[in-house]
Structure 1
Amino acid sequence: MSQIPTDLKYIETHQWVRVAGDGTATVGITDFAQDQLGDVVFVELPEVGATVNGGEEAGVAESVKSASDVFSPVSGEVIEINESLEEEPEKLNEDPYGEGWLFRVRLSDEGELDGLMEADAYADLVADTE
């Protein structure tokens, strides 16, 4: 069974978002997603200053067996990327909710968060997929 932290919001494409109290949010892929990908060998992230849109492609994670688009759960300006993933993409596999985060955004519409899944709904989605 995949780990599904209850303090995050999720989207159907297996990305999560952790909202900070200052109008910013951190984005990553779920434990389920990294498990499905297998050993991640390369990560392409958006550029700092770029605008990402909720539900749209924001990067790519490549593993030894496939490449998968990474979608942003929220809209906003990218304010930071996890540069350590360039040298250590395996952090996505080892710690998808911690050291393996992908990027941080300044939210442009906090109302989008209301449309994202809570942990229990995401757990149901994963259970239906497994």
Structure 2
Amino acid sequence: MRTPELQPIEAIKTKLANEERQRIRRGILSQLILARQNRHFHGTYGVSDNNRHAGFLPAFQDLSSGSWIISQFADGRPAPMHLLDGLPQEWICRRDQSGRALSTREGIVAGFVRDGIFYTREAAVQAAAH
């Protein structure tokens, strides 16, 4: 019986990173991706803690319809950070056994709303700087 060749850890990490980039490009979010986005935007206005004082609220947008929703806890209360549990059912593609949202369908992006306008994380960084 032949044993399969093992891939070097660097190749596995690269493959996983490429798969994650593809999910982000397609607009598939998970709590892990949200945490990584927070690390990427750490120290900028692309993170809730840093832009709240400028009137930004964490939100999500459906790219196909343009509709957006303020981030909420599962019970509907506004959340101070990006949480998947309060999203509309049709935006969620996967839940765990207890019903917690694990990931969104394609086309959902995290960002912020200020004065009724949705901003991506990148756009919030630029808008808050001016």
Structure with more of its chain in helix, by fraction: 2
Q: Which has the larger radius of gyration?
A: 2
Report the TM-score range of the alignment, normalised by the length of the smaller protein. Answer: under 0.3
Give the structure-2-normalised TM-score: 0.27
The TM-score, its normalising length taken from structure 1, stands at: 0.27
Structure with greater strand share of residues: 1
